[in-house]
Structure 1
Amino acid sequence: MSGDEFLTPEEKAEGKSQGKRDGHRNGGEDGGRNGSGSVGSTEILALRFETHRARLRAVAYRMLGSLAEADDAVQEAWLRLSRSDAGEIVNLGGWLTTTVGRICLDMLRSRRTRREEPLDEQPGGESGIRMPEPVLAPVSGGDPEQEALLADSVGLALLVVLETLSPAERLAFVLHDLFAVPFDEVATVVGRSPVAARQLASRARRRVQGGAPAPDGDPDRQREVVDAFLAAARDGDFEGLVAVLDPDVVARSGAGVTTGAAAVASGAITFGRLAAVGRPVLVNGAVGVVGVVEGRLVSVLSFTVVHGRIAVIDIVREPERLAGLDVTFLEG
C-alpha cells in the first residue's frame, strides 16, 4: 500500500505536477531554492507541502495511534522543511515521509522514557496495552469530514498490535509494509543496517499476522454477528455468547488481555448493562459499538469477525482517548 489512496484526486494531480518540478532543481516556478526564505518561495513550498499532508498524516497516525499527535508530527515536519534548503531535495514526498517517520520514532521513544508505553504487568498479573485513539463514523455513512477521518484510519486491531511493538519495529513495519519505503531508507531513520531494518519489519509482521487477523469481507454479516453478541450479553445468555465467539477469541483493553470464549463470555455478561446502552458505529471502518451514558461517551468496542465468529474485541475506555472523539452524529 503506497499511501496514495489517502489523497484526493486534486492532491494526486497536484502531486504529479510537483513531481515533475522536483526533477528540475534549478528551474520552474520554485526557482530551485524554496528554502531561500522569500515570501513567494515560502508560499510555493507550503502549497507543495499540502499536497503531501494527507499521506504524512496517515503515516503518523499508524506510527502514533493518535490523530492529535499525528497532526503534531506533520506540523513539525513542515517546520523542518521550512528551515531546510528545499531546493536541494529531489524527492520531496520521500524526504517528508522519512522525516515524519523520524519525528514519530523520537515521540515513541519519548513515551517509553516517560513510562507511557504499554505496561508489562498490571495489578493481578494481567498484561496491559496502551490503547490507540479510535476513529468513529456512523454505520450508514456520514458527512465528508467523518469520511475524511476514516480515510486516515486503519483497523483498530492492527493499531493495537502496533502498540505492542518496539519503536524501531513499528517504524520499520509502517514505513516498509504499509508505505513501501525501501529498507535502505528505513535503515537511515532507525540507525541500523538495511539487513537489520528488514529483520525489524519481519518480527513486526509476525506479530501483526498473529494479533490482527483479516476480517470477513461482508459487513452486513459482521454486523449480524456483533448484534447477536450484544443481545446475548444483555440477556445474560452465556451459551449464546460462546456460540458467536471464536474458541480462541482475544479481548484487549488498557486493563489487560482476556483469552478464550468462556472467559470473554463471562466478562461480557458482567458488563451486560453497558451492552444495553450500546450504539452501533464504525470504528476505524470496522463494525463497532460505543457506550454512551447520559450523553457521555464511556467506551468504544471494535470487533474483528473471522469465519462468522468474533476473533478479536478491542475495548477503549481511557478518558484521554475518548475525550476528543466526535459523537455528534449519534444525535437525532
Structure 2
Amino acid sequence: MKKTLGFTSLFISAIAFGSFGIWIRLLNNEMSIYQQIVLRNGFAFVIAVLVVLLAKQLRNIEWNKVKKLNLFLYALLVPLSVIAYNISMINTKIVLATFAFYVGTILTGWFAGLLFYKEKLNTEKWLSLILVLIGLGLFAYPFTNSSINLGFIAGVISGVLDGSANGFRKDLAGKISKFVLVLLTAIGGVFVSGLMMTYFHQGVAYLGSMSTTAWVVGAFFGSLLVILNYLLLVGFQNFDLSLGSIVLSLELLFALIFGILVFKEFPTSRELLGGVFILSANIIPNVKMLLANKATGTSST
C-alpha cells in the first residue's frame, strides 16, 4: 500500500466533506434535501458516464473476478447512508447527529479492518481511537436522556452503513475501474433519493424554476462528488480502514474553519478543544509513517 497517497487522498476528502454545509445551504432555499441529492448525483452521473465512455473504462474488466453482490451493496450502501444521515439531522441536533455518525463509521471501520483485512492494532491506534471519541464527544456534549432518540439512532445507522461502504471501497478499488465505481455510486444515489422523493410526494417540477446560481452550485456539487468518491477509493485502497475513518473525522475541524470564513460562525471553546483532540488523533498514528518515509528517502540517497 502507498500509505502517504492514501492518507493524502482521505485528508483532501475530509476538507471536501467539511465544505458540504456551504453548498447544501446555498441550495436549501430552492429545494428539499432529497431533491438536492438527486440534483447533485444527477450531475455526478453525467460526468462519470462521460469519463467512463471517453476513457473506455469498461474495457478489460474481468467481471468474473468481481463479486456482483459486493458491487450491488456498495452502490446501495452509500446513498442509504446519506438518507439515514439526513433523517438524523432532521430529528436531533446537528452536532449530536455528526457525533453518532462518526461513532458508527469509526467503530465499523475498526471491526471491518480487524475481521476482514487483518489490520493490526498497536498503541498508537488505540490512543488515536480514544482521542477521536473524546473529541467527538466534546462536540456533542452535553448528553441528556432525550439525546438517545430517532435522530441519534439514525446517525449511528448512517455511520455503520458508511463504514461498511468504506470496506467495500477497499475491496473493490483494486479490482475494477474507480470511475465505474463512482458511476455506480451516482446511479445508486439517484435511484434511492428518487424513491424518497416519490414517497414524500416531491416531484421534479422544481428543476424548471431553479435559478442560475442553483444550477451552477448543483453542477459544482456533482463534480465535487465525482472527485470525492474517486479520492475515497484511492484513500481506502492505500490506507488502513480503521485509521482512514478517523482521518475523515477531520471534516468537523474543516467545517468549523469554513463556518468562520464563509458564515462568520465562530466555534465555542468546547468545539475548539474537540477539534484539537480530533487533530491529535490523526497526527499521533501517522507520525511513524512520516518518519518511516523520511528514513526511506534518506537511505535511498
The normalised TM-score by structure 1 is: 0.26
Higher helix proportion (structure 1 or 2): 2
Q: TM-score, normalised by structure 2?
A: 0.28
Higher strand share: 1
Larger Rg: 1
